[in-house]
Amino acid sequence: MTSLDDIPVTQLKGVGSALADKLAKLGIHSVQDLLFHLPHRYEDRTRIVPMGSLRIGDVAVVEGEVMKTDLVMGRRRSLQVTLRDDTGFLVMRFFHFNAAQKNQLVEGTRVRCFGEVRPGRAGYEFYHPEYQTNPPPMPAASEATLTPVYPLTEGIQQPRVRGLCQQALGYLERFPIKDWLPEALMADYQLPGITEAVKLVHLPPAGSPVHLLMEGCHPAQQRLVMEELLAHQLSLLRVRQQIQARHALPLLPAGDLAERFLEQLPFALTGAQKYVVKDIRQDLSQPIPMLRLVQGDVGSGKTVVAALAAIQALGAGAQVALMAPTEILAEQHYRNFSDWLEPLGVRLAWLSGKVKGKARQEALAAVAEGRAQVVIGTHALFQHEVRFQRLALVIVDEQHRFGVHQRLALREKGVGGSLAPHQLIMTATPIPRTLAMSAYADLDTSVIDELPPGRKPIETIVLPDSRRDDIVERVRGACQAGRQAYWVCTLIEESEALQCQAAEVTAQELSERLPDLKIGLVHGRLKAQEKADVMASFKTGELDLLVATTVIEVGVDVPNASLIIIENPERLGLAQLHQLRGRVGRGEQASFCVLMYHPPLSNNGKARLQALRDSQDGFFIAEKDLEIRGPGEVLGTRQTGLMQFRLAEFERDKGWIEPVKEMAPGLMAQPKAVDALIRRWLGENSRYGEV
CB 147 within 8 A of CB 161: no
The answer to whether 386 touches 254, Cβ cutoff 8 Å, is no
Q: What is the pLDDT of residue 186?
A: 80
426 touches 399 (CB < 8 A): yes
**Contact yes or no for 343/263 (Cβ under 8 A):** no
Confidence of residue 287 (pLDDT cuts 50, 70, 90): very high
- Domains belonging to the chain, first-starting first, are 4-42+150-215 (no CATH), 47-138 (2.40.50.140), 257-448 (3.40.50.300), 458-615 (3.40.50.300)
Residue 679 identity (one-letter amino acid): R
Closest to 458 in 3D by CA, of 298, 556, 585, 577: 585
Q: What is the CA radius of gyration of the chain?
A: 30
Residue 359 is predicted with a pLDDT of: 81
Pairing between β-strand 291-296 and β-strand 422-427 as defined by DSSP bridges: parallel
Q: Which is higher by pLDDT, 568 or 432?
A: 568
> What's the confidence (pLDDT) of residue 498?
64
Q: What angle do CA 275, 347, 321 make, to 5 degrees?
A: 55
**Strands in 128-212 per DSSP E:** 130-133, 147-149
Per-residue pLDDT at 436: 74
Range 665-674 average pLDDT: 89
Ramachandran angles phi, psi of 426, nearest 5°: -120, 145
Under the banding of pLDDT at 50, 70 and 90, the label for residue 268 is: confident
Residues 6 or more apart whose Cβ sits within 8 Å of residue 373 = 314, 319, 320, 346, 347, 348
pLDDT at residue 414 greater than cutoff 90 = no
Banded model confidence at residue 439, pLDDT cuts 50, 70, 90: confident
Alpha carbon distance 662, 654 (integer Å): 14
Kindly report, residue by residue over 490-520, the tens digit of the pLDDT. 865 555 666 666 788 888 889 899 999 999 8
Query: Is pLDDT above 60 for 690?
Result: no
One-letter amino acid at 301 equals G
Residue 56 backbone phi and psi in degrees, to 5: -55, 135
Query: Is residue 687 over pLDDT 60?
Result: no
- pLDDT, tens only, 253-266: 777 888 888 888 88
Confidence at residue 454, expressed as pLDDT on a 0 to 100 scale: 66
pLDDT at 401: 54
528 vs 537, which has greater pLDDT? 537
pLDDT at 220 over 80: yes
- Say what the pLDDT of residue 601 is: 85
365 versus 407: the higher-pLDDT residue is 365
Return the higher-pLDDT residue of 439 and 341: 341
Q: What is the pLDDT of residue 638?
A: 40
Rounded to the nearest 10 degrees, what angle do helices 219-244 and 671-682 cross at? 120
pLDDT for the residue numbered 642: 46
pLDDT at 641: 39
Q: Is the pLDDT of residue 637 over 50?
A: no
pLDDT at residue 485, as a whole number: 92
Reported as a pLDDT band with limits 50, 70 and 90, residue 376 is: very high
Q: For 629, how many CA atoms within 13 A lie in the half-sphere containing its CB?
A: 21
Tell me which of 367 and 139 has the higher pLDDT: 367
pLDDT at 355: 72
**Which of 352-366, 395-409, 447-461, 535-549 has the highest average model confidence (pLDDT)?**
535-549
Residues in contact with 276: Cβ distance below 8 Å, sequence separation at least 6, in sequence order: 294, 305, 446, 447, 448
Least confident of 174-188, 302-316, 436-450: 436-450
Q: What is the mean pLDDT of residues 617-629?
A: 73
Average pLDDT over residues 576-605: 84
How far is 193 from 109, CA to CA, in rounded Å? 45
HEC secondary structure over 368-406: HCCCCCEEEECHHHHCCCCCCCCEEEEEEECHHHCCHHH
The pLDDT value recorded for residue 633 is 55
Provide the pLDDT for residue 552: 67
Q: Is the pLDDT of residue 68 over 50?
A: yes
**CA nearest to 429, candidates 615, 619, 572, 275:** 619
Q: What mean pLDDT is predicted for residues 316-335?
A: 85
Q: Is the pLDDT of residue 582 over 90?
A: no
Q: For residues 594 and 597, what is the distance between their CA atoms, to the nearest angstrom? A: 9
Compute the distance between CA of residue 341 and CA of residue 353 in angstroms, rounded to an integer: 24
452 preceded by cis ω (within 30°)?
no
Instruction: Compute the distance between CA of residue 330 and CA of residue 324 in angstroms, rounded to an integer.
Output: 5
Helix (H, G, I), strand (E, B) or coil at 147: strand
Name, of 120-124, 314-318, 604-608, the range with top average pLDDT: 314-318
pLDDT at 603: 82
Q: Do β-strands 78-84 and 59-72 pair in parallel, antiparallel, or remain unpaired?
A: antiparallel
Per-residue confidence band for 112, with pLDDT thresholds at 50, 70 and 90:
very high
Does 378 or 451 have the greater pLDDT score?
378
**Given a cut of 60, is residue 54 above it in pLDDT?**
yes
Q: CA 422 to CA 248: how far, in whole Å?
A: 7
**Those residues with Cβ within 8 angstroms of residue 571's Cβ, 6 or more apart along the chain or in another chain:** 490, 491, 492
pLDDT in tens, 177-202: 888 888 888 888 888 889 999 999 99
pLDDT for res 630: 61
- pLDDT computed for residue 531 by the predictor: 80
Give the best-scoring range by mean pLDDT among 52-61, 246-255, 460-469.
460-469
Question: What is the reported pLDDT for 621?
Answer: 79
Q: How far is CA 187 from CA 192, 639, 674, in A?
A: 9, 34, 20
Instruction: Give pLDDT, residue 322.
Output: 92
Helices and strands of the chain, counted as H and E runs: 25, 22
Mean pLDDT of the chain: 83
For residue 289, pLDDT over 50 is answered with yes
Give the per-residue pLDDT at 411. 66
What pLDDT is attached to residue 494?
53
383 HSE (CA, 13 A, CB side): 13
Averaging pLDDT over each range in 201-215, 554-568, 636-650, 660-674, which range is the top one?
660-674
The pLDDT confidence band at residue 309, using thresholds 50, 70 and 90, is: very high
Among 216, 179, 182, which Cα is nearest to 200's?
Answer: 216
Q: For the residues of 628-657, what is the DSSP string, one character each?
A: HH-HHHHTSSPPTTSS--SS--HHHHGGGH
CB–CB of 438/596 below 8 Å? no
- Span 602-618, average pLDDT: 83
Give the mean pLDDT of 448-459. 77
- Specify whether the CB–CB gap between 342 and 334 falls below 8 A: no
Report pLDDT for 76: 84
Tell me the backbone φ, ψ of residue 213, rounded to 5 degrees: -65, -45
What pLDDT shows up at residue 691?
32
Mean pLDDT (whole number) for 267-280: 90
Tell me the pLDDT tens digit for each residue of 416-438: 667 889 999 888 777 777 777 77
- Among 9-18, 301-310, 583-592, which range has the highest average pLDDT? 301-310
pLDDT computed for residue 544 by the predictor: 92
